[in-house]
Structure 1
Amino acid sequence: MPIDFQTFVAIFATLLVFLTGVVLSYDALEFTSYRIILPQWVGLLLAAVTFFTVAVDQILRGFIRVEEIQRQAEEAERAARRARIEAGCRAGQIRFQLEPSDDHRRQLTDVLALLEEYRQAL
C-alpha cells in the first residue's frame, strides 16, 4: 500500500517534534565513542522547521476534512433527490390507481421518464 503525501508529512512532523525535543533538551549528545555538540542555533532552526512541517500537516488535514464534508453534502443531496423522485413516483402511481385519467397517466409517464433519466445518470 503506497503512502500518501499527507501521511508522509504527518510521520515526518512527528519525527521532527521528537528530534526537536531532544536537540533543545541537550547541549551535547554523548555516545560510547564520540560526542556531538549541539549549538543553540541548531535547535532553534530545527524548531522552526518542525513548526512549519506541523503547520503544513494541519493544513493538509483541513483540506481532507473539507473534501470529506463536500462528499457528505453531495451524497446527502443525491439521497434527497432520489427520495423526491421516489416520492413523486409513488404519488403518481397512487393518483393513477385512484383515478386512471389522461392527466394522471401523463404525470406517471413524466415521473417514469425522470426515473429513467436518473437511472442513466448513475
Structure 2
Amino acid sequence: MIAAGEITPILPSSSEKMPDNLTKYFLDHLLNYMVSEVIKIEWMNKEMREISFTFLFNKFKTKYLLWLLPDFHARDIYEPVLELPRERSEEEMQSKDEPVKVTECRDSFIIWLANFTITSRRPDPDLTK
C-alpha cells in the first residue's frame, strides 16, 4: 500500500535562520533518513528492510565516503595495521579540506556512524517470526 506523505520544504522557511553549512545540513538529514525512513517501507519479506538499508549505505559509500575521508582505505579487521599514523601538519590537513567546511561534514558522519553502531539494537519482532 502506498500512501501520500506530508509535504515539507527542503530548506528551512525564510523566517528561520539558514544553516551556516548547507552541505552538513543535507548530509545530516541524508544520514538520518537513510536509517529512520527505510524501516517505514513495508515488505512482504521482512529481511528486505536490512537489504534496502545495506543497498543505500553501499551507494553512500561509493559516492561520498572518499570525499569525507580521503585517507580511508578499507582494511581487513583480522589483519590490523598496528603502526601509529605519522603526525600531519596543519597545512597538510587544510589542503584536504578543499570543499569549504568539509571537516564539519566529516565530524557529522563519524558521530552518526558511532551512534548507529553503538546504540543497543533491539531485535525486530517482525524478523523473529
What range is the shorter-chain TM-score in?
0.3 to 0.5
**Greater per-residue strand proportion:** 1
**Greater per-residue helix proportion:** 1
TM-score by length of 2: 0.31
Higher-Rg member (1/2)? 1
TM-score by length of 1: 0.33
